[in-house]
Amino acid sequence: MAVDKARLDNSSWWRGAVIYQVYPRSYQDTNGDGIGDIKGITRRLPHIASLGVDAIWLSPFFTSPMADMGYDVSDYCNVDPMFGVLADFDEMMAEAHRLGLKIIIDQVISHTSDKHPWFVESRTSRTNPKADWFVWADPKADGTAPNNWLSIFGGPGWEWDGVRKQYYMHNFLISQPDLNFHNPDVQDAVLDTVRFWLDRGVDGFRLDTVNYYFHDKHLRDNPPMIYDTDGAGMETDTNPYSMQNHLYDKSQPENIGFLKRLRSLIDSYDNRTTVGEVGDGPRSLTTLAIYTSGNDKLHMCYTFDLLGPAFSASYIRKIVTTFQDTVTNGWVCWAFSNHDVVRHVTRFAETAAERERVAKLSITLLASLRGSICLYQGEELGLTEAELAFEDLTDPYGIRFWPAFKGRDGCRTPVPWEVHKPHAGFTEAGRAWLPVPPEHSAAAVDAQELDQDSVLHHYRQALAFRKVHPPLFDGDLIFVDTHNHDLLAFIREKDGERLLFVFNLTREAQDFSLPQRMKSCMPIPVPGFDVALQDGVVKLSALDVFCARV
């Protein structure tokens, strides 16, 4: 697929861009240890380029003890030997750029590993030069933690250190202490690590847990979360973290100043971008609006609003409408899947028979929304969530809450490349770090390449369709009343081109009567879908989509 180099060389290339997430340890193993590596990513870059995406987001590959699969960094400026060396990264990035692909790396700066030299020094005493680089606090008089803050991974958000005789804060694992961003020296050090990769030529940063950088200086207790009487909004009853209203352990106002410092650094380099991960419960879209407003903080953010089980016209319209009403001059990056959630084909499909249809409809919908897009490796193959045995788990989150919650390993299994090879061509080792399920092997890239009706070919067609219609990059989105909440209809408009989309996300055939002003519309074939238009009535089958120029 041809690369639009003129658009990618523009400083606003990220607006409407399609970003493909690579989870390095599961992409391609080249050294036979059963774990993916950077050379494996380089080997598979032609596949990524063939999809028609604009950029690659690499999950962490930095030096790490791997307690949380690389999201516990011990050296921000080096490659973990598991994945290779810096020269491998440089070679991969050069080849990606040759193919017209931007490189975005995961910057995990809200916390470090407890093996990071900064924390190793900080915990030695209360008076060392880095004593205040992490969030330390005295115990209450009875020896308990300073407040009621919780860890997302279970238990209190505080851990006692016998040397300092204080608690340190950790939003995630005990081995992931939180940096103290109230200290200007910490901000300077973190920005230096960003500068290291900018100088190396990366095109942008995905900022992990971007609203977790600052905590309340007064360490006030979080109040309980008040949900609807029917429990609506409760994320999970397996983890008490969602029982708190997280007013004080994240999303603090001081974060705005740091994001402005970060943006100033980013803007001192040409054509770079940032995308922040915002996890803030019911306030996520409001936080996104604040963080992307004014063209002086983040370029764009994504939330978890479309990463849950809901796949209905009413829900998607509600989320997009709320976003458009809340985020007046910011930018969003939509996603249905990533490395932290159950794969969306499993979440959305009600039967095995409709999985392929759901996979195709999902990318068609994403490609039609206003915003940028994040795709997660394997979704272009229609992969489902893998069912793993407890003994196969590596995710500390899943191990902690098993069996009520099985963790994130099910969406992190290796990409299947070759249907007839052991481990589907991912590795030549006797054992892959996570097993490749038989149903994934059957969906391997080489098998789908031979099938013109496959999910893989549909992804290419859907992204090509997006590229030839400028309104789909950054045009306006205006909802159309369907008089039926089971249908999702909207117009995308820019520079005189107006496209109508009607999505039927239900399992029943639906009719949509075109408004009088649209009766003379010109239907546009949507790859993979064939909808009839009869006397001004759109006849949609189950899980179907119609498009027309109006």
For residues 42-67, one letter each, b for 16 or more C-beta atoms within 10 angstroms of the residue's C-beta and e for the rest, the string is bbbbebbbbbbbbbbbbbbbbbbebb
pLDDT at residue number 484: 74
| 385 contacts: CB under 8 Å, gap ≥ 6 | 342, 343, 345, 346, 347, 410, 411
pLDDT at residue number 1: 52
544: annotated active-site residue: no
Q: Which of 68, 106, 178, 208 is catalytic?
A: 208
Joined together, the tokens standing for residue 276 give 């922040």
493: annotated active-site residue: no
Joined together, the tokens standing for residue 154 give 């279970």
- Cα separation, 471 vs 368, in Å, equals 9
pLDDT at residue number 237: 63
pLDDT at residue number 483: 85
Domains of the chain: 5-111+184-223+253-467 (3.20.20.80), 475-549 (2.60.40.1180)
Tokens 């074939």, residue located: 525
- Residue ranges of alpha helices (H) inside 76-141 are 86-98, 117-122
Q: Which of 277, 305, 356, 379 is catalytic?
A: 277
pLDDT at residue number 10: 87
Residue 201, CA distances (Å) to 15, 21, 54, 298, 419 in order: 20, 18, 16, 19, 36
- Contact between 17 and 101 under an 8 Å Cβ cutoff? The reply is no
pLDDT at residue number 4: 66
For residues 127-162, one letter each, b for 16 or more C-beta atoms within 10 angstroms of the residue's C-beta and e for the rest, the string is eeebbbbbbbeeeeeeeebbbbbbbbbbebbbbebe
Q: What is the three-class DSSP state of 201?
A: coil
pLDDT in tens, 101-138: 999 999 999 999 999 999 999 999 999 999 999 999 99
pLDDT at residue number 242: 92
DSSP 298-326: -SEEE-STTSSS---HHHHHHHHHHHHHH
Joined together, the tokens standing for residue 20 give 């493909």
pLDDT at residue number 2: 54
pLDDT tens over the chain, length 550 residues = 555 666 667 899 999 999 999 999 999 999 999 999 999 999 999 999 999 999 999 999 999 999 999 999 999 999 999 999 999 999 999 999 999 999 999 999 999 999 999 999 999 999 999 999 999 999 999 999 999 999 999 999 999 999 999 999 999 999 999 999 999 999 999 999 999 999 999 999 999 999 999 999 999 999 999 875 444 444 456 889 999 999 999 999 999 999 999 999 999 999 999 999 999 999 999 999 999 999 999 999 999 999 999 999 999 999 999 999 998 889 999 999 999 999 999 999 999 999 999 999 999 999 999 999 999 999 999 999 999 999 999 999 999 999 999 999 999 999 999 999 999 999 999 999 999 999 999 999 999 999 999 999 999 999 999 999 999 999 999 999 998 778 999 999 999 999 999 999 999 999 999 999 998 899 999 999 999 999 999 999 999 999 999 9
Looking at 30-187, which runs of residues are DSSP E strands?
55-58, 62-63, 75-79, 102-107, 136-137, 158-161, 166-169
Joined together, the tokens standing for residue 445 give 């890239």
Tokens 């963080």, residue located: 291
